[in-house]
Chain A
Amino acid sequence: MKKIPSGIRGEIRLGSRCKNINMSEHTSSTLSKYELVCGMEVHAELKTKSKMFCGCKNDPFRASQPNIYTCPVCLGMPGGLPVANKKAIEWTIKLGLALGCKINLFSHFDRKNYFYPDLPKGYQISQYDQPFCIDGVVETDLGPVRIHRIHLEEDTAKLQHKTVDGQKVSLIDFNRSSVPLVEIVTEADIHSAEHAKAYTKKLRQIIRFLDIADCDMEQGGMRLEANTSLRHPGETNLPQYKVEVKNINSFRFLEKAINFEIKRQSEILDAGEVPAQETRGWSDDKGQTFTQRAKEDAEEYRYFPDPDLPPIRFEQKQIDEIKDSLPELPDKIIKRWFADFDVETKNSDLLIESQDDAKWFEELFVEAKKAGVQPNALANAVVNKKLIIAEPRQIAQTIKTFQQANQTDTVDEAELQKIIAEVIAANPDAVAQFKNGKTNVIGFFMGQVMRKSGKKLDVKQLNASILKTLSSGQ
């Protein structure tokens, strides 16, 4: 029996596959009565050179004029026919494998039929029942989020609202029409706004690392949608309704919108009613979500396989080859940088933008270690923009610059010991605190010693010295 996809918006009820998620400590107090049931749909525009089903240039954001990257196909002219972009398909498989998905060896494109001015053919070529990737997972600090499916489709044109000659009109630019779009749909595993943010950030990191999309949210290169509902903690059945929040183009808005929905839906449920099944948008000006349109229980898209596109059949061997060609992914690198170089995750996260960056920074850390420089200190300095890496970046030069900026003064060891002893003697309370287990009082001592000496001292060494004295002394 064919597996019925449950991630499709409104089309079919989600089965009760969701496990009972424990709430994170970050959620607001209004949530104590209810828990959030949330799944996300993320769209990312792939940065192929050409569009998904035609050879038009894929560069809608930087186009100098509207409607300059079009052809009979993406403009939906009579007789236009789609021809699939091989690279876009490969990248979708790549992404699926990176997220631990199973790849469907047989898949095809389907027509999703509906009318809208930004949809030139009156249907969108997408995937319905046999998407390229299914059943993956994204790990985050706040818990895993299972990936239900990933499929490939084409983007719509861009609509702009304006008043022209006193009339309210919509202006349409087809430069974006038929740009390749991956759609990543999760299970309803997200249990808080923070979790949603963590998931989206991690997803973006992976996508960017694979170098398949820029995910510029402001330009719409990555679009977020959250399906939210609430239920009583402990309940395993999915709620009877679902509110879809769309048009979220920043992490901040995502968090705010979800938290707003939690509050709004709680109030409705408290009153004994059920929130309306609908699509809402986020208005940052007003700080609230607003109704965009009522969602019917099942949208009438009348999916059927696109007769203009032959199906796709992979051999397991080909998938294995793509899998082997995957780079080491961010999470693994981050773990390794912590284990081998003591570099903190919060720093690694920001340095690991691309495979090139990852490679370069790893080399930097290796050399830094050799030169006696703490990799994490380096990382910290880069992240906080205290160390600017000159282009073209060079490892030796970078280390040298860092060392110069953080040069410590030479100090007479005996004199240093004398100062340490003086500071310790002058602060019996602090010593007592230290003996009582408050070890971070060391920081205080270090500050005192540095001030008294008037010199720039090596932090690590100083720390060790003071610790030694405190531990051995009276």
Chain B
Amino acid sequence: MVNTAVSTATNQSTKSFPVEHVAKLSNIPITKEEAKKLEVAFVDTLKVVAKLQQIDVTNVSPTFQVTGLENVWREDEVNEKKMFTQKQALANGKKIYEGFFVVPQVINQD
């Protein structure tokens, strides 16, 4: 389900929003001006969302999917038709080298 770690966030009010932290988590580069504008937008949005808190959800379990489907899977077969050729796989990449996608070197390799 969701991260149920105990919340120790001191910043529960909608008065300020951790824009830079969230931008970093979202991997989106933002400037300081944007950060200011975004903070206003978020506060507005959270005000609307806050109304949710007033609803009584005692004994209500969450719904993550509405179809009610279960146990959907496929047999362990190779689907040649759906596979890309190397050319197709690489077709939209900006930087390619000898069949690989290329990015600037990532430090701290996992």
Contacts and interface: CB of A to CB of B under 8 A. Distances in A.
Interface residues of A, number: 64
B52 interface: no
A311 B73 contact: no
Nearest to B92: A77
B58 interface: no
B71 A11 contact: no
Interface stretch (A86-94, A193-201, A353-361): A86-94
B73 A86 contact: yes
A56 B83 contact: yes
Contacts of A160: 100
Interface in A163-199: 164, 167-174
B99 A50 contact: no
A18 B90 CA distance: 49
A169 B106 CA distance: 7
Interface in B78-110: 78-79, 82-86, 89-90, 97-106, 108-110
A146 B104 CA distance: 42
Contacts of A246: 110
Contact of B74 (A2, A57, A85, A303): A85
A71 B102 contact: no
A180 to B, nearest CB: 9
B73 A83 contact: yes
A217 to B, nearest CB: 17
Given A115-B27, A304-B2, A310-B69, A75 B89 contact: yes
B3 to A, nearest CB: 6
B105 to A, nearest CB: 4
B84 A70 contact: yes
Interface string A279-313: 00000000000001100001011111101011111
B79 A50 contact: yes
Judged by DSSP, the binding face of A is loop
A167 B104 contact: yes
A365 interface: no
B97 A310 contact: no
Contacts of A313: 70-71
A78 to B, nearest CB: 10
B86 A67 contact: yes
Contact of A169 (B73, B82, B105): B105
A149 to B, nearest CB: 15
B71 A171 contact: no
B4 A55 contact: no
Contacts of B3: 11, 301-303
Contacts of A393: none
B75 interface: yes
B103 A169 contact: yes
A116 interface: yes
A101 B12 CA distance: 40
Interface in A85-136: 85-89, 110, 115-118, 122, 128-130
Given A70-B84, A159-B109, A307 B65 contact: yes
Given A54-B79, A55-B74, A70-B84, A170 B99 contact: no
A438 interface: no
A322 interface: no
Interface string B47-71: 0000000000000000011010111
A370 interface: no
B76 A48 contact: yes
Given A50-B78, A117-B106, A307-B65, A11 B83 contact: no
A55 B79 contact: yes
Contacts of B105: 161, 168-170
Contact of A87 (B1, B2, B76, B99): B76
Contact of A71 (B1, B4, B83, B99): B83
Contact of A293 (B71, B97, B99, B108): B108
Interface string B1-14: 11111000000000
A337 interface: no
Contact of A161 (B86, B99, B109): B109
27 contacts: A50-B77, A56-B82, A67-B100, A67-B101, A70-B84, A83-B72, A83-B73, A85-B73, A86-B74, A87-B75, A89-B73, A116-B110, A117-B103, A117-B106, A118-B110, A128-B1, A159-B109, A161-B105, A164-B97, A171-B100, A171-B101, A172-B101, A292-B110, A300-B25, A304-B64, A310-B69, A312-B71
Given A171-B100, A298-B5, A311-B65, 19 more contacts: A12-B5, A50-B78, A56-B82, A66-B86, A66-B100, A67-B89, A67-B90, A67-B99, A68-B85, A68-B86, A71-B83, A130-B1, A164-B97, A168-B105, A169-B105, A305-B65, A310-B69, A310-B71, A312-B70
> Which 8 pairs of residues, A with B, have the shortest CB-CB distance?
A55-B79, A171-B100, A87-B76, A168-B105, A310-B69, A86-B73, A84-B73, A172-B101
Interface of A: 2, 4, 11-12, 48-50, 54-57, 65-72, 75, 83-89, 110, 115-118, 122, 128-130, 159-161, 164, 167-174, 246, 292-293, 298, 300-305, 307, 309-313
